[in-house]
Structure formats: structure tokens, C-alpha cells
Chains A and B, each alone.
Chain A
Amino acid sequence: MTDYNFAYLDEQTKRMIRRAILKGLAIPGYQVPFASREMPMPYGWGTGGVQVSAAVLMPEDTFKVIDQGADDTTNAVSIRRFFQKTAGVAVTEATAKASVIQTRHRIPEEDLREDQILVYQVPIPEPLRFLEPSEVETRKMHSLEEYGLMHVKLYEDISQHGAIATAYAYPVKVEGRYVMDPSPIPKFDNPKLEMAAIQLFGAGREQRIYAVPPYSKVVSLDFEDFPFEASKADHPCDLCGATDSYLDELIVDDDGGRLFMCSDTDYCQGRRAAGHVGAQGVPIEEDAA
């Protein structure tokens, strides 16, 4: 497509976004307002992540897109195609081969490296939003480091349910300063937020970008007597037998029979290619046939 600039956005817009990214990296966890553009996909479909990816992609990059951990979900396909068309970059499904990975709702199972960037799509960047609807108020709370409301909420969960009733988008504190929404990743992924790669978060509709620099300290909020616990379905993957990966639960027959499989399709595929077979899996050669 020659009608549009490389990676769709014009260079001035990319510069504006890059400035926001740099500011975000300089103040880990702080939500930087940016002049989000109207993209040719709907708000809520990852326009923030798409703008961040457009601003960081270089022609030599290899791009991977996952949604719910999978490369083949329809919206991941759509975003990957968008950049194939507008940037002409190489694309991959292999986590290790990608230099930029855009994700919705998951962190890949495989450890990321220093030469990789993980771009998150963020629906509601404000971790305090459901406690305080006003943006004016929540910005004030962040600037005063006034996070008592969040701790009260977690405490009330424990007193009501005996546990913290947040399963995804579990709030974290970055570098001991800003409370941050890690986007709606399952809390299973929270420990992985301390990683070697650069993590960039884009919220298009809400016009915010924030970042976690490599090796930053990211602590999931908890109490000494109720420590944070990463959880997942208590099963191995039925296809590859992995016991350390986050699982999707599928209903496979009319009697409500269940099958559990890795949500990270590339991870599952890699294990099966290496010869691992789960309880309901078959070796990968037979599957292909």
C-alpha cells in the first residue's frame, strides 16, 4: 500500500507517540496522556496497542500478534494483517523469533529477551477507575500516591469472600511508586511482569500510554497475611501435557465434557513438536495428517 505512510501513521504522529512512550519509560507505571488518533479499527479493538506498535515498528522488525494467547484468534489475525499491509514487516507466530509482540490479555509463556518489545492493548488504563469514576479525581490520587481506597477494596474482598476477588487485571505497584493496571491479563501472568523485555501499554480510547522498563520491580498488591497467589486451572494441558502454562477450558461434547489446553498456542505447538503429548493429545505428525 503506497497510499499510506510506513505503518499507517504519519511521522509527526509517530513522533508524538514516541515521546509519550519515552516519558512512560522514564516514569514507570505513570499514565501519559497522548493524542490518540482515530484508527481504521474500532476503539476497544486494540487501537492503543496498534498505535504503539506503529510507533515502534521498524522495517527490519518481525511482528507477532496474540489475542488470548493465540495467534489465530480473529482480531489477532486482523491486526497482524493490518501491519503486513501497511508496514510490510515480517510476521511470525514464534515468540522467540518476534522482535515486537502485540498482545491482548496474555503474556507469552516463554521468557522474553532484552531485544524484544511487548505491546499490550489496554481497555481501561486506570486501576482506580472502578473505585472512583472521575478521571480528575484518580489523577489527583496518583499524584498524591493516595492508594488507600485500593487497599480497602482488597481488604473488603477478603472480609467478604475470604480471598481477593480479582482474577484478572490484578493491580500492581511499579518501582514502589505508581499503582498500575497490567491490562486484563490473568493474575497468573502477573509474576512475569518483571522481565527483560520492554513493556509498553497503549489505551487508545482513553488516550493513555504507560510503560514498564526492563527488569523493573513490579509487585502485585497484597497483604502480609494474604499474600498474592498466581492461579490457573488445576490441570495439565490435555494436548501437550504442560503443567506450568495458563489453560483455556473448552466444552467438547453435549454432556459438557471439558478439555484444557494451553492458551499460548505457540508454546503448546512448540512442546508438541518436541514430542510432549498430553492426556487427550496425539503426536503432532498424526494431527497434521
Chain B
Amino acid sequence: MYVAVKGGERAIDNAHAWLAEERRGDASVDELSVPQIREQLKLAVNRVMAEGSLYDPDLAALAIKQARGDLIEAIFLIRAYRTTLPRFGGSVPIETEAMACDRRVSATFKDAPGGQMLGPTFDYTHRLLDFKLAAEGDVPAAEEAEARDAQTPHIMSFLDREGLIQPETDSDTTPPDLTRTPLELPATRDLRLQSLTRGDEGFILGMAYSTQRGYARNHAFVAELRIGVVPVEMDIPELGFAIEIGEIEVTECETVNQFQGSKTQPPQFTRGYGLVFGMSERKAISMALVDRALRWKELGEDNLGAPAQDEEFVLYHADNIQATGFLEHIKLPHYVDFQSELELIRKLRREAQANTAPQTDTSDASGGSLSGKMKEAAE
């Protein structure tokens, strides 16, 4: 006698217990602490904050620990937590001119006010495994210099003065909020940027790369890439003015792109923009390229049918939490749908074989006919 499979409840409990054990790993090895992750896996923490849309290094580090290092899973934990947080209000837009830059480079001008500063970059390291790190991680202190006191002007502002770059106009309208209103198309640029900044780094990188390889090529120069800490201010209604409520580290990338002009615009440089939480420059540059590609309509460019120009394609597929959930859900039970497909395919095959049966009789007896082979394959 066969008894239908029961025991979903117990299976889940046991799976969770096993997962907890696996997360800890070999108990004779020291356990990772959340501060260790926050300090020593900072770029992973940054990615979780950026794609989780929540600036909190401690929570991001905790999520990474809980997710066993699976960053998309960690991002998911942060997103689910973020949903439950009450919203007190919106901040005043951050001023990146006031950034205390850890890094600031321009690919378009050899020097500019504020100077170039490499900062803590992998760029010119030789990618050789450092076996010393396997033993001990003590490092000598790095050289220090006086921090700049003055603001660091945007390099774009110098092109702006010459009228060479397409101007951006200020708008007083409140930007839409992707997390509080359903995505509706066509999307405005601020909404697109929101989607890109929390979009999957790999997806945005792939989209940006595709524009470089000719799918809606818009030849981008990195006019400026800056990384550093900016203060965040918020208007307090009771006070009647804005006060600083904290500071966040961000990466900002502005690209200057070739533009031949169109029916509506004279030849001039155009812009792409990327802004991401934390030190995430691969993501910020990618975002700027995709932003620029998505602006084809407002600049009067041709739609070349490239994936990176298609805002519906980009915005609907950039979110890794949506993507991974839907992708992985196909491992859930689908007995019912599959059963209905089974019945349908059996029925269609029965009918198809009934129709071809007379021809089978006239063919040789070795089973060489197509319907004979199909029958064999099915059995």
C-alpha cells in the first residue's frame, strides 16, 4: 500500500537545522564576527547596501553572515527587512561637491581643481595571489596627507561653462519612489536611475558592456569618478531648517558621451550618470553607461533596437531579487501543471499516431518509419 507523501512540516524543520549547522561550518574554526565582515569584506557589504537599498553596514554584514556569503541572498534579507521600516521623510538631496573624497579621478582632464587622487584602488595592483595574507594580515600604516578643506568642483561644471555639454535643468518635482509605487512605463529618468542603482551589478555591467561593444554604442569617457563621504541633511518641520542626520559613503560617476546632434539637438557632449552607495565603482560606471543608452528618446537619437536602449527590458530585468525568486521558483512543486501537460501530450500523440498508422503499414518491418521511432522513444 502506498501512502501519499506527507511530512512537509518535519522536512522543513530538519532542513533549517541542517542549514544552521552548515552556516557555522567546522566548529573548531573560529566563528566570524559581524564587525570582521563589516571591516574586512567591506566591498561585499557595500554591494549588499547598494542593491538592498539600505545604508547600514552592520545590518549588511549580519546579512552576509546569515546568508553564508551568498550576496544575493544577503541583499534579499536586507530588502525584506527594509520593507518593514517606517518612513520618517525624505532627505535634502546630497551635495557631492561637498564630498570628502577618498578617490577622485578624471579620464578627460590631466588635472583640474581638486586634483586627481587614486585612493584605495585595485587598479594598478598586479593580480598576484599574496600568500603572506594566508598567514597574517598585519599591514604597515599608509602615508597620510592633510584632507582638503575646500569643496571639490565637478569636472562637468567646466564643460558646462563652455556650453559644450548638454545642460541638466533643476526640477522641483518630488521624484517617484520605485519602492512605494508600481513601476509604470514610460519611466522618467529619475525612476530609471533608482532602478539602476539598486539593480544587479552583473546585469548592469553586462548591459553597459554591450553598449561598448556596439549595441547602441555611445562612446563614454569617464569625466569624473569620485568616492567619499557626504553629509545627509533632513528638513525638520518643527525647526524650520535642515540639520545633518548622518553621513554616507557614495560613488559617483559622470560620463561625457559623444553626440553628433540630431533633429532636435545641436552637436554637443551628453551625459550619463551613476550614483551608488558605498565604494562600488564598477557599478557606478556601468550605471552611467546604461543611463546614457536609455536616454536615446529625449536626445532624439535613433532606436537601434539594442537591449540597453529598451527601458522596459532593462528595468523589468535589472532587479536580482525579482529575478532570482522567479527563476528559482521553478524548483517548487509543479505536479498539477505537469500532470495536465502529460495528459495533453499523450492525447496529441495518440491522435498523431492514429493519423500516421496507415503509412506505418506500408513501410518496411524493421521499424524504420518515423512514427515507429517516436513510439520507441516514448516507451
**CB distance A167 to B337 under 8 Å?**
yes
Type the 1/0 row for A26-60, where 1 means its CB is closer than 8 Å to any CB of B: 00000001111111101111010000000000000
A144 within 8 A of B: no
A4 to B83, CA, bound (A): 11
**CB distance A163 to B341 under 8 Å?**
no
> Closest approach, in angstroms, between the C-beta of A204 and any C-beta of chain B?
9
A149 within 8 A of B: no
Q: A67-B333, A167-B343, A287-B3 are in contact. Are A35 and B180 (CB under 8 A)?
A: yes
Binds A, one of B98-106, B124-132, B270-278, B318-326: B318-326
**CB distance A248 to B339 under 8 Å?**
yes
**CB distance A168 to B341 under 8 Å?**
yes
**CB distance B336 to A135 under 8 Å?**
no
Task: Tell me the chain B residues, 305-359 only, with Cβ under 8 Å from chain A.
Answer: 312, 316, 321-322, 324-330, 332-337, 339-344, 347-348, 351
Q: What bracket does the count of chain A residues touching chain B fall in?
A: 35 or more
**CB distance A73 to B340 under 8 Å?**
no
A192 within 8 A of B: no
> Closest approach, in angstroms, between the C-beta of B168 and any C-beta of chain A?
26
B299 within 8 A of A: no
- Contact residue among B3, B8, B334 (Cβ-Cβ distance under 8 Å from A77): B8
Residues of B near A136 (CB, < 8 A) are 185-186, 312
A265 to B8, CA, bound (A): 13
> Closest approach, in angstroms, between the C-beta of B1 and any C-beta of chain A?
6
Q: What bracket does the count of chain B residues touching chain A fall in?
A: 35 or more
**CB distance A105 to B337 under 8 Å?**
yes
**CB distance A75 to B182 under 8 Å?**
no
- Contact residue among B76, B329, B335, B351 (Cβ-Cβ distance under 8 Å from A68): B335
B4 within 8 A of A: yes
A40 to B343, CA, bound (A): 36
A281 to B2, CA, bound (A): 8
A164 to B265, CA, bound (A): 52
Q: A42-B329, A135-B312, A163-B347 are in contact. Are A249 and B182 (CB under 8 A)?
A: no
Type the 1/0 row for B179-198, where 1 means its CB is closer than 8 Å to any CB of A: 11111111000000000000
- Contact residue among A123, A208, A265 (Cβ-Cβ distance under 8 Å from B4): A265
* CB-based nearest B residue for A104: B332
Residues of B near A34 (CB, < 8 A) are 182
Q: A38-B83, A162-B351 are in contact. Are A134 and B9 (CB under 8 A)?
A: no
**CB distance A39 to B83 under 8 Å?**
yes
Q: A34-B182, A72-B8 are in contact. Are A42 and B324 (CB under 8 A)?
A: yes
- Contact residue among B179, B184, B327, B348 (Cβ-Cβ distance under 8 Å from A33): B184
**CB distance A10 to B84 under 8 Å?**
yes
B68 within 8 A of A: no
Residues of B near A69 (CB, < 8 A) are 336
* CB-based nearest A residue for B342: A249
Type the 1/0 row for B67-84, where 1 means its CB is closer than 8 Å to any CB of A: 000000000100110111
Interface of B is mostly: helix
B27 within 8 A of A: no
A280 to B82, CA, bound (A): 51
A221 within 8 A of B: no
**CB distance B316 to A135 under 8 Å?**
yes
Residues of A near B365 (CB, < 8 A) are none
- Contact residue among A42, A74, A239 (Cβ-Cβ distance under 8 Å from B12): A74
A232 to B343, CA, bound (A): 7
**CB distance A45 to B325 under 8 Å?**
yes
A43 to B182, CA, bound (A): 15
B11 within 8 A of A: yes
**CB distance A187 to B79 under 8 Å?**
no
Q: A77-B12, A207-B182, A248-B335 are in contact. Are A43 and B321 (CB under 8 A)?
A: yes
Instruction: Please list the residues of chain A having a beta carbon within 8 angstroms of any beta carbon in chain B.
Output: 4, 8, 10, 33-40, 42-45, 47, 67-69, 72-78, 105-106, 123, 134-136, 161-163, 165, 167-169, 184-188, 205, 207-208, 231-233, 239, 246-250, 252, 259, 261, 263, 265, 280-282, 287
Beyond A68-B334, A233-B343, 15 extra complex contacts between A and B, CB < 8 Å: A35-B180, A38-B179, A43-B329, A44-B330, A68-B336, A76-B8, A106-B336, A136-B312, A167-B340, A167-B344, A208-B182, A231-B340, A233-B339, A280-B2, A282-B1
A-B contact pairs, 20 of them (CB 8 A): A10-B86, A35-B179, A42-B76, A42-B328, A43-B324, A68-B335, A69-B336, A75-B332, A77-B9, A78-B12, A161-B351, A163-B348, A163-B351, A167-B340, A168-B336, A187-B340, A233-B339, A247-B339, A249-B342, A280-B1
* Nearest 6 pairs of A and B residues by beta carbon: A44-B329, A43-B325, A42-B325, A167-B340, A33-B182, A186-B340
